[in-house]
Structure 1
Amino acid sequence: MTTLVNRQIDFMGRRKLAFVASAIMLLVSVLAIAINGLNLGLDFTGGTLIEVRYASAPALETVRQVLESAGFRDVSVQTFGASTEVLIRLQQAFDAGVGAQVTDLLNQGGTQVELIRAEFVGAQVGDQLRDQSGMGMLIALGVVMVYVALRFQYKFAIGALLSLVHDVIIVVGAFALFDIEFDLTVLAAVLAVIGYSLNDTIVIYDRIRENIRRSRIDDMAQIFNESINQTLSRTLATSGTTLLVLLALVFLGGEMIHNFAIAMLLGIIIGTFSSIYVSSALLLPLKLKRADLIPPPKEEHEEELP
């Protein structure tokens, strides 16, 4: 008989505490989304986009303060390509003279600023992006559920789907709670988090399935603990190296990818947590059994030779 050896970390023994923590994070996230709403960027809301070129690299905060002091609201300033090229986003209706007005303001004090372009991003485009991005996320979650159900079993698919929904809601809720701008780069990060979290979940699921088939015990909590501990070094190594890169992007990557890096950073942390305490632990209340993975033996019919 094959027996499983208990490891030092009893993940399943702490699952109720983890469920409470998840419930609190989900509740706060849903309330933040419902009450505060998302601070949608220009990609979704529409507005004015202005690109200017400086003779030397400017201080972005100074550019923002100059424009806000002149009465412009919801100003977003970031470098675009070279450090001397600045992209300015204004969440307001487009005016034919707004480009020249902004350039004149920035030229004060002897600074040389050249207007490259000034254009309008319509609300219709924003609505289309919002609808298509939401549909893309739903399709991604649906394909994930079908894939996991076909590769493993439908109970695994339910656990994986709830885990991914858990991750998405908490990441989006954090942006609503702290009023961080939500644009297309953040949406791309959310979709990337889905892929990352799913990959981690599949690794643990694969080990759980293997251990269930190899063992002769019916204690699913013990099997899950053994499986998670066996894959823990891989999970921590992957998450740790990814977090190091994301921390570098948050502090050194510049404003253009700052929100993307924040979303990815939150997603990696929450995704690592959910792959253990949501996707795996939920298999216990879903009553996963050995019979779900091991088909009953076929009856052998002996035929008499003539």
Structure 2
Amino acid sequence: MWLVRYIPVETKFGFMRYRRWSFPFSAALSILCVAAFFALGMNFGIDFRGGTLVELQSREGPANIGEIRDEANGLGFGQVEVQQFGTPLDVSLRVQVQEARDGLTEEEVQQVVVQTLRDTFEDDYVFRRVEVVGPRVSGELVQSGTLGVVFAIFGVLVYLWFRFEWHFAVGAVIATLHDLVLTIGFFAITQIEFNMTSIAAILTILGYSLNDTVVVYDRIRETLRKYKRLTVYQVLDVAINATLSRTILTGVTTFLALVALAILGGEVIKGFAYAMIFGLVVGTYSSVFIAAPILIYLGVRPASEIAQAEEAARVQAAE
């Protein structure tokens, strides 16, 4: 039990005094992320762009990137993206989506691409991963992924509207959109491949942030009823400090698991792990410095102020 003593239990940090800094800071970051999205764009993966993705591993010695690129571009499939990743032995090839030709459908042409690549490189390289996505499928994945994020945010609004008062629902949605914008900006700035795994990462980040926000909101609502003489600023500080040890424990354990995924998970899951680490930090930050203090501007008041306002209204009506 002595290890628990290293975790602060009864803290008295004044988080609300930093709201004048957190809101401009978050606004500046959000503007930067939106600008990066339109200026740099997303590094869409094979799921969204369509085409063929092949990962090779050299059987002997480091992979010869220049030779692979020359041979791949000479196959007649257009410009082939060749990149080294992981170790010097590993290389990835991305062939753009091919149109139907020679009486073959689009899907059949993609299979011809894979077979041609095998015939060209199989003697010197091991085919570790092959993904083929047609243009029709990639378009459906874009639509499904976008709808998934939109429905998730709408579900958050509906749930919190019934779970709490409208102030909390609006505050949680603003914090959720804040996390979404920053995460999209993270993908745009870092140019990490954006694929269906990234959509899963975004939805997981939103769920984690929402869970943290609901815990804070639940304690805020409880504290509003318990401490009737405190101002709303004091109530929010008390509630956040009361959940701080839980936030630290959850964040640290999740962070350690994600670091292990990023280091040991391999190239396929590395982007997911990096996005989750970023989302963990952003989600925790937004729960404390966005979702909580925004209640002040949305008009949340402690029970004492509500009672005084009601009494003043009754007196005025009696006069």
* Paired residue type of 1:33: F
Cα distance in 1 for residues equivalent to 2:70 and 2:18? 53
1 CA distance for matches of 2:129 and 2:209?
41
Q: Which residue of 2 aligns with 1:13?
A: 17
2:46 to 34, 42, 47: 42
Q: Which runs of 5+ in 1 are unaligned?
A: 1-5, 298-306
Partner of 2:68: 67
Equivalence map 1:105-254=2 (5 Å): 105-107=120-122, 111=124, 113=126, 120-254=132-266
CA 1:10/1:291 → structure 2, altered by over 3 Å: closer, same or farther? closer
Calculate percent identity across the aligned residue pairs.
36
Query: Do the aligned partners of residues 64 and 175 (structure 1) sit closer, same or farther apart at CA in structure 2, a change above 3 Å counting?
Result: farther
Structure 1's 157 and 40: CA in aligned 2 closer, same or farther, altered over 3 A?
same
Superposition pairs of residues 219-298 of structure 1, within 5 angstroms:
219-290=231-302
RMSD: 3.3
1:155 is displaced (CA, Å) by: 0.6
C-alpha distance in 2 between matches for 1:114 and 1:238: 39
Q: 1:37 to 1:220 in 2, by over 3 A?
A: same
Structure with higher helix content: 2
**TM-score normalised per structure 2:** 0.78
1:260 CA displacement: 0.5
Secondary structure of the residue that 2:13 maps to in structure 1?
coil
Code of the aligned partner of 1:91 = Q
Stretches (4+) displaced over 2 A: 49-52, 61-79, 84-108, 111-117, 290-297
Number of residue-to-residue matches in the alignment: 282
Over 3 Å counting, the alpha-carbon distance change for 1:7 and 1:65 in structure 2 is same
Larger deviation, residues 136-145 vs 99-108: 99-108
Taking a change above 3 Å as real, the CA distance of residues 46 and 64 of structure 1, as seen in their structure-2 partners, is farther
The 8 Å contact of residues 66 and 106 in structure 1, kept in 2 or not, is answered as: no
Q: Deviations over 1:163-200 (max 9, x none)?
A: 11110110111111122210000110000001100000
Does the 8 Å contact 1:103/1:115 carry over to 2? no
Q: Is the 8 A contact 1:153 1:293 kept in 2?
A: no
Aligned match of 2:316: none
Q: Distance in 1 between matches of 2:132 and 2:17?
A: 56
